[in-house]
DNA sequence: ATCCGATGCTTCGAATTCGAAGCAATATGT
DNA sequence: ACATATTGCTTCGAATTCGAAGCATCGGAT
């Protein structure tokens, strides 16, 4: 246990610090824009955006939760909220009675369309403005790489349900 | 209003998506480790870590809040919590009666020392493991650049106090 | 010396978040 | 077919988060 006190190189440290900082600042900026323009939280926007991309504007709750890296209970809460605002509908899946299918409504698409330009603008301004094309490409490559790595190995974002070996 | 629908290039989109995903996943992983090992939230850890770096283990509330990109009220809450656990102390600044100086205690340092190795390990595993040395360097450079850009221009993280033009 | 805006922090209430526990439907093994 | 584990979602309670409002102090102008 005392054999290997793990270390980060100065470069790694710098990368980690700057990464978390950018992530925080960017998120705050984006959240503000979404709140101001569409009265959406970041999560809500992410959910709508995912649905907008999905075929038929529909996805299962679990897939949505995994997609945005979010707890299932939190998703239930937000889905309810979005449903009350008429931006999505929820219905049990015909194929699997357990599943709930969330579907983007026309209203939802409208709101999405309304906030989208400003969102893009914010991302452009805050994240990309100071970067060269090569930087962006590099960033895309590296982040995709890490993301794949993260998605691959560990017990998925939400509740890993297995549990029997410990205790 | 309809003149310039801003766009992100496919590369930018990929970079943005992967970036937010990595940021979420990494954060979750790190949070779990901190919770398990030291019963610390991410924010609490960041606060302790900042204090650990600061000369004398002390910082003003506002500087801490800016440092971790956090609301002032949230910081008050967490500082209270950390004080109750004996990990920090709070005292009014001698120089400026308004300011509260937060100081890391020996207990605080112990907890920090206890969680640190696992934290580093987690960051190494989840963020850097799949990256080459050049990738890391690049990441550090780009993130530092963006961070500087973000810190520079906008009304700072927390409450921009001005308010007079709108109603 | 004194007024007034700016600054630093806290309190307050509302909204959001999570994990644990619970319930229903499905899959799997025999 | 039937028991058992697994999966999908929701409910519950507790903890965290934020922004607005409030209070005290400071700085700079008169």
Q: What is the pLDDT of residues B123-161, one digit of tens each?
A: 998 899 999 999 999 999 999 999 888 876 644 333 333
Q: What is the pLDDT of residues B68-82, one digit of tens each?
A: 888 999 999 999 999
Q: What distance in Å separates the CA atoms of residue B83 and residue B79, rounded to the nearest whole number?
A: 6
Tell whether A3 is within 8 A of chain B (Cβ): no
* E-state strands within chain B: 58-60, 88-92, 100-104
A chain contacts of residue B43, beta-carbon cutoff 8 Å: none
Average pLDDT in the B61-70 region? 89
Considering any atom of strand D, list protein residues whose CB lies within 7 Å: A 32, 60-62, 65, 72-73, 75-77, 79-80, 90, 93, 96, 98-101, 159, 161-162, 164; B 41-43, 70-74, 77-78, 81, 96-98, 158-159
Tell whether A15 is within 8 A of chain B (Cβ): yes
Per-residue pLDDT in tens (0 to 9) along chain A, 167 residues = 555 667 888 999 899 989 998 998 888 888 888 888 888 999 999 999 999 989 988 999 999 998 888 899 999 999 999 999 999 999 999 989 999 999 999 999 999 999 999 899 889 988 999 999 999 999 999 999 998 888 766 443 333 333 333 33
Task: Tell me how long chain B is.
Answer: 167
How would you list the strands of the sheet with A100-104, edge to edge? A58-60, A100-104, A88-92
Beta bridge partners of A104: A88
B chain contacts of residue A131, beta-carbon cutoff 8 Å: 142, 145-146
Q: What distance in Å separates the CA atoms of residue B98 and residue B107, rounded to the nearest whole number?
A: 26
Rounded to whole angstroms, the distance from the CA of residue A102 to the C1' of nucleotide D10 is 15
Q: What is the pLDDT of residues B85-136, one digit of tens each?
A: 999 999 999 989 899 999 999 999 999 999 999 899 889 988 999 999 999 9
Cα dihedral across residues A31, A32, A33, A38: positive or negative: positive
Rounded to whole angstroms, the distance from the CA of residue A83 to the C1' of nucleotide C8 is 41
Give me the pLDDT at residue A139, please. 94
**CA separation (Å) from B75 to A13, A65, B44, B89, B106?**
24, 29, 9, 14, 21
Give me the pLDDT at residue B110, please. 92
Window B:87-146, CB contacts with A under 8 Å? 117, 120-121, 123-124, 126-131, 133, 135-140, 142-146
User: CB–CB of B75/B64 below 8 Å?
Assistant: yes
pTM for the model stands at 0.83
- The 8 Å CB, 24+ separation contacts for B114-122 are B114/B37, B114/B38, B115/B33, B115/B34, B115/B37, B115/B38, B115/B40, B115/B45, B117/A5, B117/A6, B118/B33, B118/B37, B119/B30, B119/B33, B119/B34, B119/B45, B120/A6, B120/A7, B120/A8, B121/A6, B121/B33, B122/B29, B122/B30, B122/B33
What mean pLDDT is reported for chain B?
85
């Amino acid at each position: 246990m005392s054999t290997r006190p793990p270390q980060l190189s100065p470069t790694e440290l710098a990368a980690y610090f700057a990464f978390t900082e950018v992530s925080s600042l960017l998120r705050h900026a984006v959240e503000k824009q979404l709140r101001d323009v569409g009265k959406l939280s970041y999560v809500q926007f992410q959910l709508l955006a995912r649905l907008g991309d999905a075929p038929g504007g529909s996805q299962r709750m679990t897939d949505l939760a995994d997609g945005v890296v979010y707890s299932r209970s939190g998703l239930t809460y937000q889905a309810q909220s979005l449903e009350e605002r008429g931006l999505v509908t929820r219905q049990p899946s015909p194929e699997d009675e357990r599943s709930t299918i969330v579907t983007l409504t026309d209203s939802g698409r409208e709101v999405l369309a309304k906030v989208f330009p400003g969102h893009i603008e914010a991302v452009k301004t805050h994240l990309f403005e100071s970067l060269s094309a090569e930087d962006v490409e590099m960033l895309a490559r590296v982040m995709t790489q890490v993301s794949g790595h993260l998605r691959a190995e560990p017990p998925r974002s939400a509740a890993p349900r297995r549990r029997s070996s410990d205790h």
